[in-house]
Amino acid sequence: MKKFTLSLLTVVLLGVGLSASAQIQKGNVLIGADLANFDLGLSGSKVFNMNISPKAAWFIQDNVALGGYANLGLVTAKDAPTTTTYGLGALGRYYTGKDVEVLKHGRFFAEANLGFGGTNTSKGGGTTNGLDFGVGPGFAYFITPSIGLETLLKYNGVTGFGNNGYQGNLHLSFGFQIYLPGQGTANKVRSDVK
């Protein structure tokens, strides 16, 4: 336990001197995933609920990233219909210009996505397949120079074909993102070290 506490304290102290601006520079790459609605149904409800959204993006300029996402969700319960959600498309992010004063290693951001997706419920439930879209604000806290923990409150909608012409919901998700330096950023760091 002492080793774990010492390791955690070391990570926190190393993180104190960091700034969030290096991670979101032009040329860097973001890779990670968000997790929402996670429920294993360990109580008497026997419900399993999970939604995972892997994503990857490239910073086309400082504070602006464009990339892609995938989405897969499943809600199932004993003696109840099963609902599956899916999506695949493009996403964009914009990070605020300055570190948050209260948390010097954090940044607010806005995320939007657009692609193809659907929500399908078994046993005669509604289905919607077509245009998948979402938008919402988030907050990224950088625990190291290249790792960010995030929370994202996002409205997700699907419109198109099926029994229901439109379905929408509001998700609060938590994510883990890795920010990798791009080739130009890595070369700049190497030249600064020489």
Predicted confidence (pLDDT) per residue in 110-153, tens digit: 999 999 999 888 887 788 899 999 999 999 999 988 999 999 99
Q: Say how far apart CA 75 and CA 98 lie, in whole Å.
A: 39
pTM exceeding 0.85:
no
What's the confidence (pLDDT) of residue 104?
75
Question: What architecture is domain 2-193?
Answer: Beta Barrel (2.40)
Domain chopping of the chain, boundaries: 2-193
- Arithmetic mean of pLDDT over the chain: 81
What's the confidence (pLDDT) of residue 126?
80
Range in 12-16, 32-36, 38-42 with the lowest mean pLDDT: 12-16
- DSSP calls for the chain: -HHHHHHHHHHHHHHHT--GGGTTSTT-EEEEEEEEEEE--TTTT-EEEEEEEEEEEEEEETTEEEEEEEEEEEEEETTS--EEEEEEEEEEEEE-SS--SSSTTEEEEEEEEEEEEEEEESTT--EEEEEEEEEEEEEEEEEETTEEEEEEEEEEEEEEESSSSEEEEEEEEEEEEEEEPPHHHHHHHHHHH-
